[in-house]
Amino acid sequence: MKAPDTVTLHVNGRPLSVRTGTSVAAALRIAEAPGMGMARRSVQGEARAPFCGMGICQECRVDIDGRRRLACQTHCEDGMVVEAAT
Amino acid sequence: MAAGHCDVLIIGAGPAGMAAALAAASSGARITLLDDNPAPGGQIWRDGPGAHLPPQALRMREALTRCANVRLLCGTCVVSLAGAGALLLEDARQGWVQHYGKLILCTGARELLLPFPGWTLPGVTGAGGLQALVKAGMPVAGERIVIAGSGPLLLVAAATARQAGANVIRIAEQARLPAVAGFAAQLLRWPGKARQALGLASVRYRTGTHVVSVQGAGRVESVRLLHAGGREMEINCDRVACGFGLVPNTELGQLLGCALTPASSGARALAVDGLQATSVAGIYAAGECTGVGGSERALAQGRIAGLAAVETSAAAQRHGPERAHWQAFADQLHRHFTLAPSLKNLARPDTLVCRCEDVPQAALAGCGGWTEAKLHTRCGMGACQGRVCGAAAHFIFGWTPPVPRPPLSPARVATLASIALPPGGGSP
């Protein structure tokens, strides 16, 4: 049974339960451990992870429920589907 | 498309915006307070599973929920202007035009993030960036973290990381010991700040030390630091958080035609008068977008702007002395944490300066300014629209940052289309 203070989302096809209020940026890190929460690949193909943490740099943009959104500015929600670069 | 109407529109729900909303609310005016973050509080009072909000932040949030005439919209961005007295807004679901009588800009500040070899590796973040990510629930327990850059924010970020179980092994402040000691000695004039500083003191703190490079295969493995005396050291770590102070977010104000004024470290801020009015009639500004100065100054400025916007200037003026008290603190901060010119040389020729378009330093070094850099390299033309590299190039090359253009943030086509067409649709 699901704990009341958690939400369950899917990150790159895998279910993940996190504490309510957790950002998608944090969820990327939790999902990818021991990686550092890769969000996208750069123009030259480098792995990039959340950087500024406050919605400025756009490095953490990922596909959330079919829309490109910033992982650091989005709270995880039940049933949310997140697709990050791998 | 839906349209919204309000008497006072406040952009940014950090300390300044919250104070402005609460101050203006007693007039009965219809107030809309919006923020692109998921919750109010700005960066300093960012909420989340890893955050510990101070009582004042909780009191103000609670007070806002009791104001029936204040509508709080989180997760909402300003996309562009939409004619006189109107802005185009967007949230996760829709875009709409918001009409306003008076506008208060409380758009805050961002970190000055300077390029150095390895700064694009996963595991490198801003210093405030690390703090924001930890507050939002990013686990760092057991990680070895090096924090570098400049300003008191380094110590605050270290404290947040440590509370979350991280092993903060070094805090490297670029300012030299006499400057930092001089700042500490001045703190007695602001007893609350002195107490805060004592609580943050760390044996891991080193002055006159800056980052040289970060090494790692696909993620951070070590950092090289250089002491002003010439001693270089390499430290194995999992994460590097590096921020060189703050830059006022002036883009929306600039787009509205508000005049700028010089701020710290060569950056620019929105110019305001004694009532926080900008150079454009009906538009006020408060907090870090008018120059970086901390949350207490932002609260005082926010109260003044909120009262002035609802035509209660006499009440607004009563907060003048409080604002002056905290402005003096801000002045001390800028005087003692001035960035060393040698930091302009952190990027090597192959270091990417523009992270969005992967433009290396060597491609920019020969350019005469922003326009040439944009035309020849696409620097500043990516998703962040020069928010990161523009501030960095201003510091490194002395280039005046690009004049902002709409959309101010990446927006959906459906939102943009709503103002691209004249009323009634059809071709212009």
What domains appear along chain A, each with residue ranges and CATH number?
Answer: 6-83 (3.10.20.30)
Residues B149 and B230 in one domain: yes
pLDDT at B427: 36
State the Cα–Cα distance between residues B99 and B5, nearest whole angstrom: 5
pLDDT at B1: 54
Distances (CA, A) of B8 to A22, B48, B100, B104, B379: 31, 28, 6, 7, 37
- Whether A40 contacts chain B with CB within 8 A: no
Distances (CA, A) of B73 to A56, B2, B421: 19, 15, 26
Residues B105 and B254 in one domain: yes
**Mean pLDDT to the nearest integer, A44-52:** 97
- Which residue ranges in chain B fall short of pLDDT 70? 1-2, 265, 420-428
> Cis bond leading into B38, ω under 30°?
no
pLDDT at B414: 85
Residues B43 and B76 in one domain: yes
**Token pair of B49, please?**
């599973």
pLDDT at B425: 37
Predicted TM-score (pTM) of the model is 0.94
Would residue B199 count as lying in a domain? yes
Beta carbons of B125 and A53 less than 8 Å apart: yes
Residues B321 and B309 in one domain: yes
Which helix (H) or strand (E) covers residue B305, if one does?
A: helix B295-309
Answer yes or no: are the C-beta atoms of A44 and B352 closer than 8 Å: no
**Token pair of B1, please?**
């498309």
Last residue of a domain, one of B244, B259, B285: B244
Residues B171 and B194 in one domain: yes
State the Cα–Cα distance between residues B329 and B327, nearest whole angstrom: 5
Alpha helices in B228-294 (DSSP H): 251-255
Beta carbons of B138 and A29 less than 8 Å apart: yes
Whether the complex's predicted ipTM is more than 0.90 is answered with: yes
Quickly state the pLDDT bin for A80 (edges 50, 70, 90).
very high
Beta carbons of A50 and B128 less than 8 Å apart: no
Q: Which domain holds residue B9?
A: 3-110+247-333
B110: nearest CA partner in chain A: A56
How many Cβ pairs within 8 Å bridge chains A and B?
A: 133
Would residue B342 count as lying in a domain? no
Would residue B230 count as lying in a domain? yes
Residues B233 and B296 in one domain: no
Answer yes or no: are the C-beta atoms of A61 and A52 closer than 8 Å: no
Residues B178 and B228 in one domain: yes
Residues B178 and B226 in one domain: yes
B91: nearest CA partner in chain A: A69
**Token pair of B117, please?**
């070899």
- Whether A20 contacts chain B with CB within 8 A: yes
Please state the domain count of chain B.
3
B36: nearest CA partner in chain A: A73
Residues of B with CB under 8 A from a CB of A: 36-38, 43, 46-49, 75, 92, 110-111, 113, 120, 122-126, 128-133, 136-139, 218-220, 239, 355-358, 382-384, 387-388, 410, 412
